[in-house]
């Protein structure tokens, strides 16, 4: 039987969607006669897949390897829409759920989820290895073009966002968290997340938006964008609290919005520890030396291979040295902890290398160990307070009391003078920064910023701010 599909002309550079859909509908009706429907479901499914392939070729005039050009950039989205129409027509013809041709939709949905969940670039559909892998899994599946995939993400974003907005109308009260960050491309972004307890008493969060913020970071500009988001989501009268860091513009923004403002305890702990570390000169010198040592092993291929080889010879698990990150105090903790754990292998690896870089001295390692014993409680508290799916506000007061008690006990036990000095700074900073009543503070874990930064800089792609927002929304809210 000859298919009725034909090559369709372009009209002003865009293919007529109705013509495509009607063409595929007729092809399905020709293929799916009553005898085939009644006797052979497998043949029916194969026929529908074949029709989809031919439809894609008819729309683009190209083979399965088509990746999109300027003149046919919209055709990929139309192929997908036409395939959706084809499936709906087939569902009208057959009442048996098992016979309905849903595999194309399932595979397209899975592809979109892969890109969203793993923050893959749209161009992954053009990668040779990916196409070969998919062809082996299902030779009949026509991989959508990158333009078609982007269109699918757009459609899914609209559906999921509308669904989330509808669900939010059932919630009586919410709290908001907000943060700002700068991407690797030096673009400023503002992220706003909504937190609430649902009917099942489960803590939920919805990412309201991650928007590019080219304006100056004044309280007025911040308040205007947040007010707009609250209005879009229909929660203006439901917000009970706004949680941010302690920056002056964020605090003033809460006043502009006439919302109760709370300072994030996790942010405050980060500032407390960073300040205390910086106020301990001997430890600052050790950190500088440690950064140089770690940087050498992370930048030299030979040094890295030697470190791995030594660990294997010693029968130890292969670990990597971690570098300190300026904005996160616990990266300092992990850098120093790994250096202590890899003390032997690092020394042995350096001994076999021609370098002026030296390992830490025994006294320096003792100083690090003493300081780590005081910092371990702060690391545990930071992890606990950054939970996103568990209520953590009620833990703040006990945790702060436990931190103070732990510091005093560890300082009484340690014989390391530098550790005692750092401990005194920690105690003083705790009391100075957290002296206000508990009801002026709150806590929330916000992982939106780093994740968004990864999306922006993923592989070779430069995503538009709007696409970043859509992918992050789907990634976080699905």
Q: State pLDDT tens for residues 157-166.
A: 899 999 989 8
Q: pLDDT, tens digit, for every residue of 210-233?
A: 888 888 899 999 999 999 999 999
Q: Is the pLDDT of residue 388 over 80?
A: no
What integer pLDDT is reported at residue 34 of this predicted model?
A: 42
Would you state the pLDDT for residue 478? Answer: 65
* Segment among 179-188, 241-250, 307-316, 410-419 with least mean pLDDT: 179-188
Three-state secondary structure call for residue 119: coil
Q: DSSP string of 15-82?
A: E-HHHHHHHHHHHHHHH--HHHHHH-HHHHHHHHHHHHHHHHHHHHSS-TT----GGGTTHHHHHHHH
The helix/strand count (H/E) of the chain reads as 19, 8
Which of these ranges, 19-33, 52-66, 173-187, has the smallest mean pLDDT?
A: 52-66
Residue 210: per-residue pLDDT:
86
- The residue-averaged pLDDT of 163-177 equals 89
Using CA atoms, how far residue 402 sits from 40, 101, 397, 405, 430, in Å, is 70, 60, 9, 5, 12
SS3 181: strand
**Structure confidence at residue 23 (pLDDT):** 52
| Contacts of residue 90, Cβ cutoff 8 Å, sequence gap at least 6 | 28, 32, 48, 100, 101
In tens, the pLDDT along 262-318 reads 888 888 889 999 999 999 999 999 999 999 999 999 999 999 999 999 999 999 999
Q: Where are the beta strands (DSSP E) in 227-318?
A: 239-244, 261-264
* pLDDT over 50 (residue 345): yes
* Model confidence band, residue 339 (pLDDT cutoffs 50, 70, 90): very high
Give Cα separations from 311 to 275, 318, 333 (angstroms): 35, 6, 22
Q: Where are the alpha helices (DSSP H) in 139-197?
A: 146-168
Q: What is the mean pLDDT of the chain?
A: 77
Q: Give the tens place of pLDDT for each residue, 36-72.
A: 443 444 444 445 444 444 444 444 444 443 333 333 3
Q: Looking at the predicted structure, is the pLDDT value of residue 381 above 50?
A: yes
- Mean per-residue pLDDT, 352-364: 90
Give the DSSP H/E element, type plus range, for residue 204: strand 203-212
Q: What is the pLDDT of residue 37?
A: 42
Whether 346 has a pLDDT exceeding 90, the answer reads yes
Who has greater pLDDT, 305 or 5?
A: 305
């Amino acid at each position: 039987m000859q298919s009725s599909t034909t090559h369709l002309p372009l009209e002003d550079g865009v293919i007529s969607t109705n013509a495509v859909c009607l063409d595929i509908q007729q092809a399905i009706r020709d293929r799916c006669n009553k005898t085939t429907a009644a006797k052979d479901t497998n043949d029916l499914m194969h026929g529908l897949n074949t029709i989809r392939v031919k439809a894609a070729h008819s729309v683009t005039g190209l083979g399965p390897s088509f990746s999109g050009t300027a003149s046919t950039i919209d055709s990929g989205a139309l192929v997908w829409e036409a395939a959706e129409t084809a499936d709906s027509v087939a569902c009208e013809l057959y009442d048996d759920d098992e016979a309905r041709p849903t595999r194309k939709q399932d595979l397209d949905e899975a592809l979109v989820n892969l890109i969203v969940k793993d923050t893959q670039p749209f161009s992954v559909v053009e990668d040779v290895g990916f196409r070969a892998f998919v062809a082996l899994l299902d030779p009949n599946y026509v991989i959508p073009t990158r333009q078609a995939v982007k269109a699918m993400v757009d459609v899914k974003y609209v559906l999921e966002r509308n669904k989330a907005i509808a669900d939010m109308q059932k919630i009586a009260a919410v709290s908001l968290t907000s943060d700002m960050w700068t991407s690797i491309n030096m673009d400023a972004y503002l992220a706003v997340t909504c937190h609430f307890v649902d009917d099942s008493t489960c803590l939920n969060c919805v990412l309201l938006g991650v928007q590019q913020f080219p304006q100056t970071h004044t309280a007025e500009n911040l308040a205007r964008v947040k007010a707009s988001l609250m209005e879009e989501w229909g929660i203006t009268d439901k917000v009970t609290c706004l949680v941010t860091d302690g920056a002056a513009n964020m605090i003033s923004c809460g006043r502009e919005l006439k919302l109760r403002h709370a300072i994030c305890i996790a942010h405050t702990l980060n500032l407390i520890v960073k300040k205390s570390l910086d106020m301990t000169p001997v430890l600052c010198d050790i950190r500088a030396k440690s950064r140089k040592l770690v940087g050498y092993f992370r930048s030299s291929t030979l040094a890295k291979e030697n470190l791995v080889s030594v660990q294997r010879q010693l029968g130890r698990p292969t670990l990597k040295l971690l570098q300190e990150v300026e904005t996160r105090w616990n990266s300092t903790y992990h850098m120093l902890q790994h250096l202590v754990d890899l003390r032997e292998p690092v020394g042995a690896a350096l001994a076999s290398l021609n370098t002026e870089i030296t390992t830490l001295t025994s006294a320096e390692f003792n100083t690090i160990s003493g300081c780590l014993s005081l910092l371990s409680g702060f690391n545990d508290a930071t992890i606990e307070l950054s939970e996103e799916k568990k209520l953590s506000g009620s833990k703040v007061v006990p945790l702060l009391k436990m931190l103070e008690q732990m510091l005093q006990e560890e300082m009484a036990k340690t014989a390391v003078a530098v550790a005692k000095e750092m401990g005194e700074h920690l105690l003083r900073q705790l009391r100075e920064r957290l002296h206000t009543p508990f009801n002026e503070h709150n806590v929330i874990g916000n992982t939106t910023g780093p994740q968004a930064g990864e999306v922006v800089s993923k592989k070779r792609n430069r995503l538009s701010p709007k696409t970043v927002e859509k992918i992050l929304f789907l990634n976080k809210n699905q």
